[in-house]
Structures are given as C-alpha cells and as structure tokens.
Amino acid sequence: MQQENKKGIGFFGSIVVDRVLNIESWPAEGTLGLIQGRETLGTGGSAWNDPVNIRAIDADVPLYACGVIGDDAMGRYALNHLQERSIDTSHVDVANDADTSYSIVSNSRASGLRTHLHAKGACDRFTCAHIDAFASRLAIAHLGYLMLLEALEREEGSELMAVRALRSLGEKADKVAVDIVSLDNSTDRFRKIVTPCLPHVDYLIINEFEAGQITGEEIRNADHSLDGQACLRAARELLRQGVRDTVIIHFPEGALGMSTSSTEFCPSFEVPQQEIDCVVGAGDAFTSAALYGFYRGRTLAECLLLGNANARHNIVSSSCTDGVVSLASLEETIANEPQRASILQIDG
C-alpha cells in the first residue's frame, strides 16, 4: 500500500488553545459570576479540532494542519497534541512576535450556550504565503475560520486576500471547504468578507446564525424556534451567490444540506439534558465528520448523519475533542439512538 501517495485532507487557519470554564450562568456586566469546578485546557480552532476529530474516526486518512502558533507553552501543547495523533504539522509556523491564540470559553449550564473571549494572537500572522507553501495534493482543503483570520481580510489592489487564499487552495485540492466564526453584530463584515469567497467554495458548512448574517434571513423566530423555511431560503441564496457544490447549515435541532442536485434534512440525536457537559466544539465536531463523509464518498444524507452523531458525542465531553469516537461508534449511534422529531419536511 502506497500510503504516501494517497490524497488526504488539509486544514488551514485557526489553531487556538481553549481555556474552558463551566459557569452557572453568564453574569450581567458589572457583576460577579461563579466558576464551577476546574478550568479545562483543550483544543480549539478548525485546523486543530477537525483533524483530531477525523483521526479518531479513521486512522488511515492522511491529515495535515497548517497554521501559526506562538513560541510558547500553549503553542508547544498544540503541536505535541497534533503530532501524537500522526497529524502532519510540517506546515505549522512558529511566530516569535506573537502569543499562541487562545479563547476563554464560558459554558453556561443555565442556558447551554457558550461565550468566547478570544485573543487572536499568532492566528493574525496566517497569510496566503502559508497556503502557497503547502506542497501536498489534497482531496479536500478546509479553511477556517473566516472572520477570524485578520491577514485574509485585507485587500491588495482590488482583491480580498481570503479570495486569493481560496483560489490557491483550489489549485491544491479537489474540493475546497470553508467554515466561519459566529462573530456578533458584524452583518456588514460578513457580507464584505464571506460573499466574495463563495464562488471559490465547494462545501460551505456553517451554523444558522452565520447563514443569517450572510443572507439577511431571520432563521430564528421571536420565541427562538427555528424557522425551517427561512433556513431553506438561506441555503438556496448561498448556492445562488456561488457555492459550487453543497451548503450545510447545522443547528441544535439538526442539519440542512442543500447541493446542486439534492436537499436533505437530518434531525439531531436526542441527548438528555443531564448528560450534556459542554457544547464547545460541537460545530467543529459536526463539520469534521461531514467532511469525512464527503471524503469517503458518502451521500449528503449520510454526511449529515455522521455530523450529527459526532456532535452528539462531543457535547457529553468537557472540551472540543475529548468526546472523539471511532467510525464504528458513530455508526452504532446512527443505528441505535433516537433522533429528535423532524422540524422540516423536504418535498420531493
């Protein structure tokens, strides 16, 4: 077997150390909130979370991380964690003039929501040059997160650097995938940065908040329930704006996938509230398993199921990747565990 010639999956962009804190609820500004238990140090950023997830699913996929860390203890922690899992780190750059990026993640037990305080650090040093230097031929190249890679938000002449980065990835990979970060109150930035990128993306995998920011759709109703029809309209609009193959919008209730040839909705798996430990990393867990499905030639519906199953295992663990499981475990979950009632019927 010539493993060295097998095309793999490359993850480009954010490498972030997460410092996860469990709290009862997020305090009002100017007041004090209580931290419960001990801080957990964990993986963060799509160029770290996603390959670790996929390595747990399948030991045979060639995986690559490409990003920038600082010359510090947190950077060495990230590098060692990746290398221990046989993930290629030869394109992880070490910056001498910036700290490794980190997030303080407060996980509210009252609301089930996570709040991030983020220090961009060395991730701001990630540029098109890091992508250009990548030499291996890939089946899928994944860039994340747009909206959190400052150097790619700049323009040279009339060209956005994020567009240039995606065009370069397209020359190195059969398919290009993108993930976005849920940055609040940034509708104009979303459209300025993300919209020009869409014609260079094959797989756009985002959550409902991000889909709404890009398209202007109000995907949540006033009572916070999901508006399935608005979600469908958002997916259609993202394809109209240029996504070349598939749009996936995921949310706690499930996931909608819309390609140029089919539309699928997959409800999420039921998880008792008392089993949920931390929802940090659920989006990356979904994304990585869905990408693995695409890599293995699974159908869109199967990719959504894999994504939901992986997210289900993620939320009963304390960090982004502590809940990683094998493909056999995901398939067992899919075969045996109940799903929520469907909130969206797809005609035809």
Q: Which amino acid is it at 76? A: R
Give the whole-angstrom CA distance, residue 169 versus residue 206.
Answer: 19
What pLDDT score does 77 carry? 95
pLDDT at residue 3 is higher than 50: no
Domain boundaries, the chain: 3-336
Give the whole-angstrom CA distance, residue 264 versus residue 257.
Answer: 5
Residue carrying the six token digits 């002449």:
157
What pLDDT score does 347 carry? 66
Q: How many CB atoms lie within 10 A of CB 140?
A: 22
282-317 confidence digits (pLDDT tens): 899 999 999 999 999 999 999 999 999 999 998 887
Side-chain-side CA neighbours of 239 within 13 Å: the count stands at: 17
95-150 confidence digits (pLDDT tens): 999 999 999 988 888 887 778 888 999 999 999 999 999 999 999 999 999 999 99
Q: Which residue has the higher pLDDT, 172 or 110?
A: 172
| Region 321-325 average pLDDT | 86
Residue 153's contacts (CB-CB under 8 Å, 6 or more residues apart) are 147, 160, 161, 162, 193
Look up the CATH number of domain 3-336: 3.40.1190.20
Pairing type for strands 203-207 and 63-70 reads unpaired
Burial of 156 (0-12, 13-18, 19+ CB in 10 A): exposed
What pLDDT score does 107 carry? 80
What pLDDT score does 252 carry? 93
Residue carrying the six token digits 């849920």:
182
* Element spanning 193, H or E: helix 187-193
The 8 Å CB, 24+ separation contacts for 326-334 are 326/56, 326/57, 327/57, 327/58, 327/292, 330/57, 330/289, 330/306, 333/269, 333/309, 334/305, 334/306, 334/309
| Region 219-223 average pLDDT | 95
The pair of three-digit structure tokens given for residue 216, joined into one six-digit string: 């202007």
pLDDT at residue 17 is higher than 70: yes
CA 323 to chain centre: 16
